[in-house]
A and B are shown apart, each in its own frame.
Chain A
């Protein structure tokens, strides 16, 4: 089982259907769900421009990605999705001080958004200087998957933080076949 799913599912095994219900109750608070990157943008945001920046990022066109994110944030300084995307870019670039600032900005603009918290998880995890920082990333990751249970990336970032903390989240002996995410 994927570690983040296991961590999210610390419930006794009774039946698969009950497990599914418990899992949904525990993990599927429908606040701020959506793709972790590039969405949802704030009202007045520009999803296409953000998607273009992200495409540059994932194509390893870092110079272009940085220019696109900066331009985007210049035009949309209050869009948490822009700050989250830029935070992830900065994290890949190992510019962790800036990444943390951008991730925090995203969370402060829209505190209960899975995407912002998921990126904050990754940034905290990768910038961690010790176990305390990693534990903080784990707490953030748990929150992210609770808010965005449908997000594959939120689960991925949470699993990574769990692994970095030395935990694997597998507290029971049961497998799941609940369709997730």
Chain B
């Protein structure tokens, strides 16, 4: 049981690692105020299920990746099961 939990935790962190990488790349583009998304980054986003064109809005993409990150946050599962733990909201970033 312990090893199963550990495997799941490792898998969770692997996903977070991948999202960290993409967020870092988007963050750099955003800070440079870049207007064009590199093809390699668009491909990685595509692999995640996020379609992005060459001139997609970087801020919106960061928000999409944040949304994807949320499914790997612990409060979606274990933390919510703790007594007294607040419930997560399903509200989106932007209206």
Chain A residues engaging chain B, CB cutoff 8 angstroms = 1-3, 5, 34-37, 54, 58, 88, 92, 126, 150-153, 155-156, 159-160, 162-168, 170, 175-177, 179-181
> With a CB–CB cut-off of 8 A, which chain B residues contact A153?
20, 23-24, 27
Residues in B lying within 8 Å of A, measured CB to CB: 13, 16-17, 19-21, 23-24, 26-28, 30-31, 59, 62-63, 65-67, 69-70, 73-76, 79-80, 82, 84-89, 91-95
Contact of A156 (CB < 8 Å), options: B19, B82, B85, B92: B19
In the assembled complex, the Cα of A175 lies from the Cα of B62 at a distance in Å of 17
Known: A1-B89, A165-B79. A156 touches B95 (CB 8 A): no
From known contacts A1-B89, A92-B13, infer whether A163 and B79 are also in contact, taking CB-CB under 8 Å.
yes
| Residue among B13, B17, B23, B86 making CB contact with A152, cutoff 8 Å | B23
A sample of 21 inter-chain contacts (CB < 8 A) reads: A1-B92, A5-B93, A34-B31, A35-B31, A54-B24, A92-B17, A152-B24, A152-B30, A152-B62, A156-B23, A156-B66, A159-B69, A162-B75, A163-B75, A166-B75, A166-B82, A168-B86, A170-B86, A175-B94, A177-B94, A177-B95
The answer to whether residues A152 and B79 also contact, given A159-B69, A168-B88 and a CB cut-off of 8 A, is no
> Contacting B30 at CB < 8 Å: which of A126, A163, A181?
A181
User: Are B66's CB and A159's CB within 8 A?
Assistant: yes
Task: Give the docked Cα–Cα distance between A93 and B93 (Å).
Answer: 32
Q: How far is the CA of A35 from the CA of B76 in the complex (A)?
A: 28
B73 touches A36 (CB 8 A): no
Chain A neighbourhood of B91, CB < 8 A: 1, 170, 175
A35-B66 in contact (CB<8A): no
Q: Are A159 and B70 in contact (CB under 8 A)?
A: yes
Tell me if A150 and B89 are in contact (CB < 8 A).
Answer: no
Tell me the complex Cα distance, A2–B24, Å.
17
Inter-subunit contact A2/B63 (CB<8 Å): yes
Contacts of A156 in B (CB 8 A): 19-20, 23, 66, 69
Contact between A163 and B74, CB atoms less than 8 A apart: yes
Which B residues are in CB contact (< 8 Å) with A176?
A: 93-94
Whole-angstrom distance between the alpha carbons of A7 and B88 in the complex?
A: 13
Additional 5 contacts, C-beta under 8 A, given A155-B66, A156-B69, A168-B88: A1-B89, A34-B31, A58-B21, A166-B84, A175-B92
A163, B82: Cα distance in complex, Å: 12
A150 to B89, CA, bound (A): 23
The answer for the CA separation of A67 and B63 in the assembled complex, in Å, is 33
